[in-house]
Amino acid sequence: MVPLSYYLILSGILFACGVLGFLIKRNIITIFMSIELMLNGVNLSFVAFAAHWHALSGQVFVFFVMVVAAAETAVGLAIIIAVYRTRETLNVDQVNLLKL
């Protein structure tokens, strides 16, 4: 019998790690993976709540999140490849043309 809050705290920790990775890491791909980590954390909390409220739509929503994450990954990685082609670097600090 695990209290709901334990699941939520675990989800929170995963999400926080994702944000931290986004802020700290310099490689574009690693940043992208941090985003995936965030999404996973959120998925966990969805499933936990679905179990708590006995509502299956929580799990369905996780399904949709995964679909969208997959699509997003595909497109995002394609963009990263295009950026790599022009900039020859994967360092996010050097992709800063859009500045004032």
- Least Å distance between CB 71 and another protein? 4
**Residue 42 neighbours by CB distance under 10 Å:** 19
CB 35 within 8 A of CB 15: no
Rounded CA gap, 16 and 7, in Å? 14
For the CB of residue 53, give the shortest distance to another protein in the complex, in Å: 9
Burial class (CB in 10 A: 0-12, 13-18, 19+), 23: exposed
CA 87 – CA 34 distance, rounded (Å): 22
Q: How far is the CB of 11 from another protein (least distance, A)?
A: 9
Residue 65 C-beta: closest distance to another protein, Å: 10
